[in-house]
Structure 1
Amino acid sequence: MEALNQLIKVCADFIWNGPILVMLLGTHLLLTVRLRFIQRYTGKAIRMSLRPDEGAQGEISQFGALATALAATIGTGNIIGVSTAIALGGPGAVLWCWLTGVFGIATKYGEALLAVKYRTRNKQGAVVGGPMYTIERGLGWKWLAVIFAVFTVFATLGAGSTVQSHAISDVVHTTFGVPVWASGLVITLLTAVVILGGVKVISRVCEKLVPFMSLFYILGCLAILFLNRACILPAAATIIKSAFGWQAAAGGFAGGALMIACRYGMARGLFSNESGLGTAPIAAATAQTCNPVRQALVSMTGTFWDTVIVCAMTGIVVVSGMLRSPEAYVGASDDAMTRLAFGVLPGGQYVLTVALSIFAFTTILGWSYYGERCMEYLIGAKGILVYRLVFLAAVFLGAVVSLDIVWNFADLMNALMAFPNLIAVLLLSGVIIKETRYFLWEDHLEESGDTLPN
């Protein structure tokens, strides 16, 4: 197992230390410029997400699609992932994680727009879409679409299931002493109950849990920041200095140089907000929207909430805790760092346990849907039941396996599935600009532009 873990880590490090960083950041910056800083429409997009697009085609509401995507993105990446980035890349990784989110808003917008534009109906008449359909229908490259779908299926068995169930079982065991196998069994049964109902049931569950869990966690972070208020500004300064290699990491932190902070910050940023990954567009494609731009705007708010707000707060909480009690963090593992940060809050371990458990559970639900759609694309509806059984097995096994191999496998699969998606986004960027110019810049947002077949 250790040899396999090292092999996976070497492959993940090779991809993340060069090709994917350049491609990911380049796509974020290119679309930000070509879309005239689409991030400035975030306020408008948030308001739009709260009102339904009446009479539009689709399976679920715009907010339902956003909630499903947020459920999949707001998970362990926002809590354990951020502390992992800090442990491996130093405090500066927080800034790179945050910047990945800010510029990633443009990529999330672009890939969601393409998903809606090239969506279609399956043999059962349900609306389906995502990068595999964008690649096949937009570029005509069936082979690349298949590659994306295959990597996504594997990714759901890493980032979407094992990572999440491991996080839940670990924190519940630490807080309440519950055996990891027992937590794994409960998580698996609850997951089975929900995912058997399909996207509409998943969407309804996520619509209720996502707002609650986000508010609950943010309030907890604000309470901790109030207790650490004397360390907030020094923490921000530490993050900035470390991000650019001006300050070497100290204490229990490995690394801190520019490339290390950038590598782990961006890797965890992508894992957190999924901009460029290609997963969120699968949910966006099912939304009831009259044109691609409307849902693209709604979808991009997911990255704003996920990384620009939630991940940033987690990072400040952890780094301010480090500065407040540096001796406590020496030699601390990545997941222990978050527990230490929340330990200053009375009952903080319970706040963290509840938040992380709900975050991770809804992430499991969202990713299960992504995997189902990709499996259906590959071999048809007959593969969905088989996939569900394998996915549920991965959820249970994730509760009891080593965290290192789980994270390394998730990193590798995320990078591999991002390549086909980013290629499609870059090659079809002209379509993104054309649609945006007509519907947004020329003010035709209320017009219908959906070409979904009846």
Structure 2
Amino acid sequence: MQELNDILNLIDSYLGSSFWFPYVLIGTGLFFTIYLKFPQIRYFGFALRVVKGKFDKSDDEGDTSHFQALATALSGTVGTGNIAGVALAIHIGGPAALFWMLVTAAVGMCTKFVEVTLSHKYREKTSDGTMAGGPMYFMKNKMNMKWLAAAFAVATVLSSFGTGSLPQINSISNTLNATFGINHMLTGAVLAVLLGFVIIGGIHRIAKVTEKLVPSMALIYFVGAFAVILYNYDQIIPSFISIFADLFTGSSATGGFLGASIAFAFNKGVGRGLFSNEAGQGSAPIAHASAKGHEPISEGMVAILEPFIDTIVICTITGLVLLSSGVWSEKHVNDFQMSDLTILEQLDISDQTEEGKKVLYDYIAGTGTLPLYNGGLIADDGKLISSATFVHARSLAEEVKVTKNGKLFSGETQIVDGRPVDPEIGFTGKSLVHSAPLTALAFGRGFFGEGGTYIVSIGILLFAFSTAISWSYYGDRAMTFLFGNGSVIYFRIVYVIGFFVASFTDTTIIWSLAGIAIAVMTLPNLFGLLYLRKDMKQTLDDFWIGFKNEYPDEKTPE
């Protein structure tokens, strides 16, 4: 598993985690923000009127209403990125990473407007009478680049697993196991059956489920989140200050957190921001292409609301929960994941001194080296007899105990290059925690006490499950584009099986895979948007001319 994760991280280092990827993503959004004169601000109020159905017509072609399309797209974006992704971004990049998530969302509102408009404009009706759209259709029908369209469709299928299926069930099973002790495979099996039941009904059943699921899950999550924020009201202002204080210097070390450079905060903030709201990835346009409408701009305006709700509202709330509760920089007892663990020779080092913090940070950041442990590691009833230093989850681990098959271990186990040879050997102790378990800990620091962790479990279950539902639709539209309607059933079978298998797979592997899938889908989509920039502007100008002629008494933002 570690070798696989190393390979995935190497690939991702040239794509989503590369220095240039955030600049391409944000740069595209900034270009269209200026080119179209800040549509995410000017059209925000108008978008609310559209989503309410004010300008709908009875003969509009499509499969879903504006609200259903928005709910389906939101259910695809509001998932583990909002709960686990924010926690991972702050864990790696510190509070400053949250700022870059919000910047990504602000420019992403414009990117989403453009990609949805073009996808809706060049959508097609399939042989079964349903609508099919997305970037692959404007690449084929307008750009005449069938090879690029096919490449994007393949990337969409891969991303449906890397973004929509695998990390979602992984976070669900990990959280339910940590909170209720439910077996990972049992969680995966039950939810895989439910997933199969929902997606077999296609977009009509998916839309009916998501339009009820999204408002319900948001309400539950908000109640739990504000129970923490208000309970720690004295930390609200310091939390906001911490987001901006180290913005241009990187996040300072505090507690068990060893600090992060500005590059880390920027890269992880943008990366997690994209994983959260998917602006520029080209996924949500597939859902919006099913919406009823006689022109594409209005659906593009509806899409402006997505990054605002998903990231600016929900991710900010999650970030405030994490920061105000203080759990993000504290060490907690947890089971160590091997992909996050390195065993070093015994070192006379502490993370409570400036010198120790620097040595440890340099090692974790890859700019320094420390001697890896090689040889036998002896334990008695879980307690270490041999001397060694453990680094887990980017922190110096404490009170480490050795286990085998979940039970305290006595005897000797071999360590090679800092990792145990025996796959049944595990370790527990105190270290920093990331992803969904960190958010669960934060929710336990509010008015509901430990009961707050149940809200995260319920939130993860609803958020992530709804994301898996929506991404199944994205994948089957891509399969329809590539191989026709007959291929969809085979895709759904593999999708459900993969969903089950990921319930008991290492979390770090899943996140690494998701990062790659996002990048290989995003890059051709951004190229297509820039290629069709003049088409987009002309479509927008034509819309307002037609709108003013049809609704002369309506106030417009133009």
Q: TM-score range by the shorter chain?
A: over 0.9
Deviations 1:205-227 (A, max 9, x none): 00000011112212221221101
Q: Looking at CA atoms only, which structure, 1 or 2, has the larger radius of gyration?
A: 2
Aligned equivalent of 1:450: none
Question: Are 1:33 and 2:34 matched, yes or no?
Answer: yes
Query: Which among 531, 544, 555 is matched to residue 427 of structure 1?
Result: 531
Give 1:398 deviation, angstroms: 1.0
Question: Are 1:134 and 2:138 matched, yes or no?
Answer: yes
Question: Are 1:14 and 2:14 matched, yes or no?
Answer: yes
Are the aligned partners of 1:91 and 1:249 in contact in 2 as well (CA < 8 Å)? no
Pick which of 79-88 and 326-335 moved more.
326-335
Aligned equivalent of 1:342: 443
Query: Which among 416, 433, 438 is matched to residue 333 of structure 1?
Result: 433
Pick which of 219-228 and 263-272 moved more.
219-228
Give 1:43 deviation, angstroms: 2.5
Question: Equivalents in 2 of 1:30, 1:255: separation in Å?
Answer: 32
Cα distance change of structure 1 residues 325 and 99 upon mapping to structure 2, 3 Å threshold = closer
1:306-317, aligned counterparts within 5 Å? 306-317=310-321
Give 1:327 deviation, angstroms: 6.0
Cα distance change of structure 1 residues 165 and 51 upon mapping to structure 2, 3 Å threshold = same
State the AA in 1 paired with 2:36. Answer: L
Are the aligned partners of 2:88 and 2:434 in contact in 1 as well (CA < 8 Å)? yes
Question: Equivalents in 2 of 1:245, 1:210: separation in Å?
Answer: 38
Are the aligned partners of 1:112 and 1:284 in contact in 2 as well (CA < 8 Å)? yes
Query: Which among 147, 158, 162 is matched to residue 162 of structure 2?
Result: 158
Give 1:385 deviation, angstroms: 1.1
Q: Structure 1 vs Structure 2: percent identity of aligned residues?
A: 37
Query: Which among 264, 270, 278 is matched to residue 274 of structure 2?
Result: 270
Cα distance change of structure 1 residues 247 and 404 upon mapping to structure 2, 3 Å threshold = closer
Are the aligned partners of 1:439 and 1:445 in contact in 2 as well (CA < 8 Å)? no
State the AA in 2 paired with 1:341. Answer: A
Are the aligned partners of 2:69 and 2:287 in contact in 1 as well (CA < 8 Å)? yes
Question: Are 1:371 and 2:475 matched, yes or no?
Answer: yes
1:199-238, aligned counterparts within 5 Å? 199-238=203-242
Give 1:13 deviation, angstroms: 2.2
Give 1:246 deviation, angstroms: 5.0
Aligned equivalent of 1:321: 325
State the AA in 2 paired with 1:13. Answer: S
Question: Equivalents in 1 of 2:85, 2:274: separation in Å?
Answer: 10
State the AA in 1 paired with 2:202. Answer: G
State the AA in 2 paired with 1:202. Answer: I
State the AA in 1 paired with 2:518. Answer: N
Query: Which among 52, 65, 70 is matched to residue 50 of structure 1?
Result: 52
Give the unaligned 5+ runs of structure 2.
Answer: 334-394, 396-430, 552-558
Query: Which among 457, 461, 478 is matched to residue 353 of structure 1?
Result: 457
Aligned equivalent of 1:92: 96
Question: Equivalents in 1 of 2:332, 2:529: separation in Å?
Answer: 45
Question: Equivalents in 2 of 1:324, 1:273: separation in Å?
Answer: 22
Pick which of 404-413 and 378-387 moved more.
378-387
Question: Are 1:280 and 2:281 matched, yes or no?
Answer: no
Question: Equivalents in 2 of 1:3, 1:34: separation in Å?
Answer: 45
State the AA in 2 paired with 1:23. Answer: V
Give 1:442 deviation, angstroms: 7.4
Aligned equivalent of 1:239: 243
Give the unaligned 5+ runs of structure 1.
Answer: 448-454
Are the aligned partners of 1:243 and 1:257 in contact in 2 as well (CA < 8 Å)? no
Deviations 1:233-263 (A, max 9, x none): 1111111123322542333335521110011
1:364-403, aligned counterparts within 5 Å? 364-403=468-507
Cα distance change of structure 1 residues 444 and 20 upon mapping to structure 2, 3 Å threshold = farther
Is the partner of 1:51 in helix, strand or coil?
coil
Pick which of 241-250 and 257-266 moved more.
241-250
Question: Equivalents in 1 of 2:82, 2:73: separation in Å?
Answer: 14
Are the aligned partners of 1:92 and 1:256 in contact in 2 as well (CA < 8 Å)? no
Higher relative contact order (CA 8 A, sep 6+): 1
Are the aligned partners of 1:151 and 1:416 in contact in 2 as well (CA < 8 Å)? yes
Deviations 1:49-88 (A, max 9, x none): 1226232111111111111000000000000000001111
Query: In proportion to residue count, which structure has more helix?
Result: 1
Cα distance change of structure 1 residues 428 and 445 upon mapping to structure 2, 3 Å threshold = farther
Give 1:124 deviation, angstroms: 2.2
Question: Equivalents in 2 of 1:160, 1:370: separation in Å?
Answer: 9
Question: Are 1:251 and 2:255 matched, yes or no?
Answer: yes
Aligned equivalent of 1:3: 3
Instruction: Tell me how large the CA RMSD over aligned residues is.
Output: 1.8
Is the partner of 1:158 in helix, strand or coil?
helix
TM-score (norm 1): 0.95
Cα distance change of structure 1 residues 234 and 434 upon mapping to structure 2, 3 Å threshold = same
Question: Equivalents in 2 of 1:266, 1:441: separation in Å?
Answer: 36
Are the aligned partners of 2:329 and 2:432 in contact in 1 as well (CA < 8 Å)? no
Aligned equivalent of 2:176: 172
Is the partner of 2:163 in helix, strand or coil?
coil
Pick which of 337-346 and 108-117 moved more.
337-346
Question: What is the number of equivalent residue pairs in this alignment?
Answer: 447
TM-score (norm 2): 0.77
State the AA in 2 paired with 1:36. Answer: K
Aligned equivalent of 2:73: 69
Pick which of 436-445 and 414-423 moved more.
436-445
Cα distance change of structure 1 residues 408 and 441 upon mapping to structure 2, 3 Å threshold = farther
Question: Equivalents in 2 of 1:103, 1:193: separation in Å?
Answer: 37
Question: Are 1:60 and 2:160 matched, yes or no?
Answer: no
Question: Equivalents in 2 of 1:385, 1:116: separation in Å?
Answer: 25
Aligned equivalent of 1:436: 540
